[in-house]
Structure 1
Amino acid sequence: MDFSLLLVVAVAVTGLIWLLDLVWWRPARRRRLVTAEAGTTEGLDERAREKALKEPWPVDYSRSFFPVLLVVLLLRSFVVEPFQIPSGSMRPTLEVGDFILVNKFTYGLRLPVTHTRLVELNEPERGDVMVFRFPDEPSVNFIKRVVGLPGDRIRYEGKQLYVNGEPVAKLLLDEAGAAAPGELLLEERLGALAHRIYNNPRDPGPQMRELVVPEGHYFTMGDNRDHSNDSRYWGFVPEENIVGRAFAVWMHWDGGLPSFGSVRRIH
């Protein structure tokens, strides 16, 4: 279900009904009231006047919901949009059940539904956590870390990521920690900020010879390197598929009571 499309349709329908009432239907009700009052010697009582001027229920609902729906559409399309993390591909940065906020204007303003970019602002940077529409199924949103920018040479062999021929620095933090038994917790630095990743030393994982990221595309990977369906398997993310940059976790919910103890910025 395309929620953006449903929201646009709801705004269009309620706005059209409200506009039609302002331009045609409300003046027509008032004219009928004037005609009815002219046909009586004493005029209509208050109850009859209210009945004559009463808005039909579609108009009443549209007048109430249109401003709210419009504000939600504008905020969701151009400012910030909430998402829920459904899988563990971005652990340890993001856990299953995290609710995140995505900045919709960092990479430029786009129209809802068509995703046409209206205003160009910033481009994704190496190390950004980015939400995008999955190239093979655009109705599905993915979240991964930007590893390769247009023109970069990317290679991944023996658990080591190489960017433009240089190995990306990693630092071992913990072996077989309680949060992920059997996984190595490492700190990796892509771009200006360091982030944490998991590697499974017993799983050789995919080996990828060097490739060049085409113009207008990005190469992405999950922080849970051996448990992530990312660009190593299905290729590059086109620029037109970008949704926004994830910047904060505002709630965690795993089926019990919602928790706000894990509110944090995303690095």
Structure 2
Amino acid sequence: MKLLANGLRAARDNKRFLVGMSLLFAFRACIADWAVVPSGSMNPTLIEGDYILMNRLAYGVRVPATTVWLKRGSEPRRGDVVVFSSPEDGTKLVKRLIGLPGDVVEMRGEALYINHQHIAYTPLPDVAPGALPQATATLAHELWSEALPGREHTVMVLPEVRAVRSFGPITVPQDRYLMLGDNRDNSRDSRYFGLVPRKNLIARASHVALSFDPDHLYMPRLARIGKPLD
């Protein structure tokens, strides 16, 4: 009898554990999630070792692990930091949404033009030492404030790096979006793989949840915890 009671107790405990894990996986798959930033394509907004919070309901509800939408949600906004599946190979990427459906987007020598209006740029001072990964900080770089309509944020340019600095004009069709990395000269984005279909959008990133420095034995970067993404 004691053995049977222990077995029933273990089964109940396992059931609670499995139910809890199922709810956690469902929550992460459908509502909110986090993801690590593996590359420098969004420097200085995001840096290698950041863990970002993602709102999976921002653009609608879809069947987990598919591009099938059950219900369309809010429309993406210019300036959103978006997690999406690359139309090139399905890789999960994070970039900034620059061009909305109907927009005419052009880039001339790093400067954006949206609907034939030149976007204003203001030079910024360099970030504090240690705020960029060593591999990027040692490169010649400049920081600029890019005043997208209704959304100002920081971009980085690497003058000595070979990159696509001009394109277009491109008219963004319905249900397509033009994505660029904030690190403009070190980002594989819409300049290379084209426009992103709406069905490929996964989530909107909102904050840095945690951050660990790979250059210093993955010590936590306390100053970045909870940092909102501009």
TM range (shorter): 0.7 to 0.9
Query: In structure 2, do the counterparts of structure 1 residues 258 and 177 end up closer, same or farther at CA, with 3 Å as the change threshold?
Result: closer
1:190 to 134, 145, 148: 148
Q: What's 1:43 paired with?
A: none
Aligned residues: 218
Q: What's 1:136 paired with?
A: 88
1:122 to 47, 50, 74: 74
Q: Please identify which structure carries the higher strand content.
A: 2
Query: In structure 2, do the counterparts of structure 1 residues 106 and 175 end up closer, same or farther at CA, with 3 Å as the change threshold?
Result: closer
Q: What's 2:58 paired with?
A: 106
Distance 1:212 1:124 in 2: 17
Query: Which stretch shifts more, 220-229 or 54-63?
Result: 54-63
Matched, 1:212 2:171: yes
Distance 2:4 2:49 in 1: 52
Q: What's 2:45 paired with?
A: 93
Distance 2:188 2:110 in 1: 15
Distance 2:179 2:75 in 1: 14
1:236 to 195, 201, 209: 195
Whether the 8 Å CA contact 2:41–2:183 is kept in 1: the answer is yes
Distance 1:163 1:184 in 2: 22
The structure with the largest alpha-carbon Rg is 1
**1:217 Cα deviation from its structure 2 partner:** 1.1
Matched, 1:172 2:123: yes
Q: What's 2:104 paired with?
A: 153
Whether the 8 Å CA contact 2:83–2:203 is kept in 1: the answer is yes
The C-alpha deviation readout for 1:48-100, integer Å capped at 9, x for no partner, is: x3435664899567513321122212321232111000000000101111111
Distance 2:128 2:27 in 1: 40
Whether the 8 Å CA contact 1:134–1:142 is kept in 2: the answer is yes
Give unpaired runs (5+ residues) of structure 1. Answer: 1-48
Q: Please identify which structure carries the higher helix content.
A: 1
- Correspondences of 1:64-103 after superposition (within 5 Å): 64-103=16-55
Root-mean-square deviation over aligned CA pairs = 2.4
Question: Structure 2 length normalisation: TM-score?
Answer: 0.85
- Correspondences of 1:32-71 after superposition (within 5 Å): 49-52=1-4, 55=7, 59=11, 62-71=14-23
The C-alpha deviation readout for 1:133-165, integer Å capped at 9, x for no partner, is: 111222x21000000011211111211111111
The C-alpha deviation readout for 1:22-46, integer Å capped at 9, x for no partner, is: xxxxxxxxxxxxxxxxxxxxxxxxx
Q: What's 1:247 paired with?
A: 206
Whether the 8 Å CA contact 1:103–1:247 is kept in 2: the answer is yes
**1:176 Cα deviation from its structure 2 partner:** 9.9
* Secondary structure, counterpart of 2:125 in structure 1: strand
Higher relative contact order (CA 8 A, sep 6+): 2
